Amino acid sequence: MGRHHVNLHLISDATGETLIAASRAVAAQYHGVCAIEHVYPMVRSHAELEKAIVEIEAEPGIVLFTLVEQDLARRLMEACAAIGAPSLSILAPIMSLFESYIGTAVTPRPGAQHSLNADYFRRMDALNYTLTHDDGLQSDSYEAADVVLMGVSRTSKTPTSIYLANRGVKTANLPFVPDLPLPKSVENLRNPLIVGLLASPERIVQIRANRLLTMNADPESPYVDRRLVAEEVAQSKKLFDARGWPTIDVTRRSIEETAAAIISLHKLHKMKFISAA
């Protein structure tokens, strides 16, 4: 069965991240469908909207939008109806639900979720911390972290750390190296949640082999020896179990799924930490 291509026009008065995430989540449910994304961010005037409408006319498809200005939303829906392109406001049903429950009409504020508020600066602070505490750097200041990730090489520590930072979670990560003792600064950490990341030896070997290939390195390196990798993983798990640190097997998990599990663990960790204080 061949892939069916669908034009997907995503029109936003902000960055378009909400639309992209929502549309990809839905498109992933349709096997054999390839969505060709046309993204139009920061559409806040009629002139900008008309440019998008011209492109929709040229390549008709599904139109999803997050336009809180009613005049713009109305014009887009009318244009889509004339073109024959189905359109949907992603925020409208949610805003309607909020309004019916709260009993207050919405106050349109394009891009409000990206305002420079305390949450924004918290995320930027977390990202700065995470970037400066990657791969074992500055381990003497891990006490300021919310989460410390540990695992053998190629268990997605860095990308998971960055994803968590974008959610406002200060994250440091530390590689597990067989027979190498933990830094003394890590021995008695109290504030951060320490999570061990695990993966099957086969998966780690596959990722490491691809990395060696991109580096034009020796493909017969011990770095990709299946027996040695299995021993690395076993030693890391033994350490995590001995310390009572929670573990997550990332073999078949996406970065987003791993991060979601860590955030849930961190919430429980904070509750225990507060109750023990």
pLDDT at 188: 87
151 carries a ligand binding annotation: yes
3 is an annotated ligand-binding site residue: no
**pLDDT per residue over 32-63, tens digit each?**
889 999 999 999 999 999 999 999 999 999 99
Q: What is the pLDDT at residue 223?
A: 94
152 marked ligand binding residue: yes
pLDDT of residue 1: 44
Q: Judge whether 267 is annotated as a binding position.
A: no
Q: Domain map of the chain by residue range?
A: 4-113, 118-276
Question: Which residues of the chain are under the pLDDT cut of 70?
Answer: 1-3, 106, 108-117, 276-277
Q: Does domain 4-113 have CATH number 3.40.50.2300?
A: yes
Beta bridge partners of 66: 12
236 is in an annotated binding site: no
Is-same-fold flag (4-113; 118-276)?
yes
Q: Is 111 annotated as a binding residue?
A: no
Predicted model pTM? 0.74
Looking at residue 38, its pLDDT comes to: 97
Supply the pLDDT for residue 219: 86
Write the class of the CATH domain 118-276.
alpha beta
